[in-house]
A and B are shown apart, each in its own frame.
Chain A
Amino acid sequence: MRVGKNHAVSVSGSILLLVAALAVVGPWISPHDYVTTDFDRLMLPPSADGAHLFGTDDLGRDLFVRTMLGIRVTLLVAVVASLVSLVIGVAYGAIAGFVGGRIDAAMMRFVDTLYALPFIFFVILLMVAFERNFLLIFVAIGAVNWLDMARIVRGQTLSLREREFVEAARLTGVSTGRIILRHIAPNLMGIVIVYVTLTIPQAILVESFLSFLGLGVQEPQTSLGALVDTGVNQMEGAAWALLIPAGLLAAILMCFNFLGDGLRDVFDARQVE
């Protein structure tokens, strides 16, 4: 592996780790919490010397703590949703691709059917049926993301299955399970890792979008998307309430995208060598 030599990977990776660490540690070391309102300190601008690093919102809550909480929630949603799509998508795609034939056709038509569902409509339906619930966001995002992953993994498996080293394994009598596990799966790793780092920003965007619409995380919990939503309402009096979470959101998205691109280069390089 030459991950360390790739600047896109090392720089964006360390920024992400730093942000994540700050989001975990920040609320502990701050004297404030994310629910307490203070009507003497409404919409204070950020100040480095004072107690409120990112200022306060229209209810007098400390925005630094709320932003860190927002990052936690956003990253959590993104990572969990991507893991869900990783597990389901890879297993589903690898089986469809390796078994092939009618089973493959049936499995992929099911994927096509799910693709045809209008996503927002699907989420609103879930909200109506089960009431608003944090878990639902994971379910909704995961349910959509694994479709892409399954398609990609299936395509890759189809071409790997025809490769000569797989035929060599079949000839000596290596079992199907072992072929998938030892020959197909390791060769899928590159593309899967790259694709996961690229689905994380997608999941973040979807979560922010849902929260912005008021369909996501509920008060007093918050996420970067929800913070941007409240920030928009206070844009005229307190621009920082919009700019800080929006800027952080953009930075995190860019870092994940760079990370994905960088990892793709790293894996391509290994293929070429």
Chain B
Amino acid sequence: MSLLEIQDLSIKYGKTAVVEQLGFSMSCGEAVGLVGESGSGKSQTALAVMGLLPRQAHVSGSIRFAGTELLGAPQQKLDQLRARRIGIVFQDPMQALNPYLRIGRQLREILVRHKLAKGGDIDRRVIEMLTRVGLADAARQFRAFPHQLSGGMRQRVMLASALIAEPELLIADEPTTALDVTVQAQILELLEEIRDETALLLITHDLGVVAGHCERMVVLKSGRVVDAGATTSLFASPGHAHTRVLLDAAPRIDRQDIPPPATGSSILGVEGASVSYEAFGHERLRAVQGISFSLRSGETLAIVGESGSGKTSFVRAMLGLIPMEAGRAVYAGAPLDGPVERRARNQRRDLQLVFQDPVSALNPQMRVQRIIEESLLVHEPQLSRGERAVRVVEALEQVGLDEGFLRRFPHELSGGQAQRVAIARALVLGPRVLICDEAVAALDGSVRERVLKLLQTVQEQTGLAIIFISHDLAVVRSISHRVLVMYMGRLVELADNASLFSHPRHPYTRALIDAVPVPNPVIAPKKAPLAGEVPSLLKPPTGCVFHTRCNYAQQECQIRLPATHDFDGTRVACHRADEIDLT
């Protein structure tokens, strides 16, 4: 008998159907990946199984769990199933944990509620569970509040709370999307370990995750199942065109067709850039220290690193949004300094930024036309209204939109359209350097692919230089000419695309590459390459900042900060770069 059987499930809000006649089943101990782009109904399905849909949702069909019909079942019955026999992990652990309760208390509740343990046994089991999900020093963390833990630790706690009652089914809704790749690898490894006892329904947009961890996959599109089957066979021969589209859009770190090195002349140089913030107690938080590089026109330089590595702080300082503490940046022979308001006109025209979240980067009260033409009003006031309109339409067409969008407000655009409008705004002045701060991170696979293509086309046509900040190495692999790796505010490695991925010289670079899930079910996922998380910037480790997580660390690494060495074009900050082989 199957553990979970969904038949003809439809979910409607008013007249809009978000899920239509969806059906699939899972047997005990099986791992199934539910994949699709945003809005395909993945999360709605999970909520329906848990009986957590909002009141206004209209549900029909059948969801049977171990022979029991869940749809229309009395609340009391659902209460007995949830947390006890079905566990769930959501994307954002901060939302799912109660900030006012110590985590131990939140886990105890489940055992007490379902009468699974008594007296002193309760705390013992909670601590046991926390230890099992890899929470270091669980007996002490038992008394911690959620905000005292890092994102990865909180997700472990969520997992512990989902698993503590030893459920038969675990539903994980994008459990690693909000985490860094290195932490994602740790959490996925954990999910793999519990697989012996528990069936897993993994909801994700990341085909790399599905390839490594699910035996079967179900592909959704606009609320319908379009494809289902064994992961290996679907990857080899998709049953539906949409699966093909998703597979093609998945960025692959193992791809071979990478951009050749750029040959333009150097237009931007940065030397020893440092940024620090005042933290509480008059300590200084050193977010960026001594970053140097140069950028050619027509070149894409990617800056990668875990969150907190100082990528964003660095570009904000370079652009003059926050002060640069030390070091200097030179654009076209003239220094970039002072706050952005006091910079030369040509610098403000030639350096443009695209933000991660297009929705907050566009003024909600302005129409697309006004958003794009605003910078023209500043920099080319001599244009007549008609000439401006022509330039705005040109910019829109450059990003693949048409004049039909001119009169729209940002809330009338999809995420991908909004990001293209933001790019059009940045391109309308014909900048020389475009800085993209996680500009494609919030976009669905196929949309992301289109935006990246677009950037490459513009670059080929105009010789635009791009600084591409990203945490996603697979995307970086496909678009960049050179890659700069940062860790805790410092440059760790700077190399061209081909040699960085084939011959990484720094252990951290190697770890980042290994942590990326490969969308190929034939390749077994690697072990999580890095333990633990980034240390606090307020108390950085002595010596090499990476030595606390490095598998190659020696005594010297704990004492002395490594200098930056040069190896045929690659710059590496590691004491042992010349002796260890990471290929």
Contact = CB atoms under 8 A, between A and B. Distances in A.
A169 interface: yes
A273 B410 CA distance: 10
Interface stretch (B346-354, B529-537, B574-582): B346-354
Nearest to A175: B378
Nearest to B360: A164
B360 A163 contact: yes
A183 B363 contact: yes
A165 B359 CA distance: 9
Given A168-B355, A171-B348, A171-B353, A187 B374 contact: no
A167 interface: yes
Nearest to A168: B361
A183 B363 CA distance: 7
Contacts of A169: 363, 374
A170 interface: yes
B461 interface: no
A271 B411 CA distance: 8
A172 interface: yes
A159 to B, nearest CB: 11
Nearest to B351: A171
B384 interface: no
A176 B411 CA distance: 25
Contact of A168 (B341, B349, B425): B425
A191 to B, nearest CB: 13
A270 B348 contact: no
A173 B365 contact: no
B360 A173 contact: no
A167 B357 contact: no
A171 B435 CA distance: 12
A168 B410 CA distance: 15
A186 interface: yes
Interface in B343-377: 345, 348-349, 351-353, 355, 357, 360-366, 374-375
A189 B365 CA distance: 10
A187 B363 contact: yes
Interface string A202-224: 00000000000000000000000
B319 interface: yes
Nearest to A166: B363
Contacts of A165: 360-363
Interface residues of B, number: 27
Contacts of A106: none
Contacts of A189: 365
B538 interface: no
Q: On chain A, which size bracket covers the interface?
A: 20 to 34
A87 interface: no
Given A163-B360, A164-B355, A167-B321, A174 B365 contact: no
A174 B378 contact: yes
A170 B365 contact: no
A165 B362 CA distance: 5
A172 B429 contact: yes
Contact of A172 (B348, B360, B422): B348
Contacts of A273: 411
Contacts of B379: 172-173
A273 B366 CA distance: 15
Contacts of A187: 363-365
Given A186-B365, A273-B411, A171 B360 contact: no
Interface in B324-346: 340-341, 345
B352 A172 contact: yes
Nearest to A174: B378
Interface string B401-427: 000000000010000000000100100
Nearest to B410: A165
Contacts of B355: 164, 167-168
A170 B364 contact: no
B411 A173 contact: no
Interface in B370-407: 374-375, 378-379
Given A164-B355, A170-B321, A173-B379, A271 B340 contact: no
Contacts of B349: 172-173
Nearest to B343: A173
Contacts of A164: 355, 357, 360-361
A45 B340 CA distance: 73
A271 to B, nearest CB: 7
Contacts of B352: 171-172
Contact of B374 (A174, A176, A270): A174
A164 B375 CA distance: 15
Given A170-B321, A171-B348, A172-B348, A271 B425 contact: no
A171 B429 CA distance: 12
A176 B352 CA distance: 18
Most chain A CB atoms below 10 A, which of B352, B363, B374, B378:
B363
Interface string A40-76: 0000000000000000000000000000000000000
Contacts of B353: 167-168, 171
Contacts of A168: 353, 355, 361, 422, 425
Interface string A179-195: 00011001101000000
A167 B379 CA distance: 17
A273 B359 CA distance: 11
A176 B362 CA distance: 18
A175 B425 CA distance: 17
A177 to B, nearest CB: 12
Contacts of A182: 363, 366, 374
A270 B378 CA distance: 29
Given A165-B363, A171-B348, A270-B411, 8 more contacts: A164-B360, A165-B361, A168-B355, A168-B361, A172-B348, A174-B378, A186-B366, A271-B364
9 contacts: A163-B360, A164-B361, A170-B341, A171-B351, A171-B352, A172-B375, A176-B341, A187-B364, A189-B365
Interface of B: 319, 321, 340-341, 345, 348-349, 351-353, 355, 357, 360-366, 374-375, 378-379, 411, 422, 425, 429
Interface of A: 163-165, 167-176, 182-183, 186-187, 189, 270-271, 273
Which 8 interchain pairs have the tightest Cβ spacing? A172-B375, A186-B365, A164-B361, A173-B348, A165-B363, A164-B355, A273-B411, A164-B360
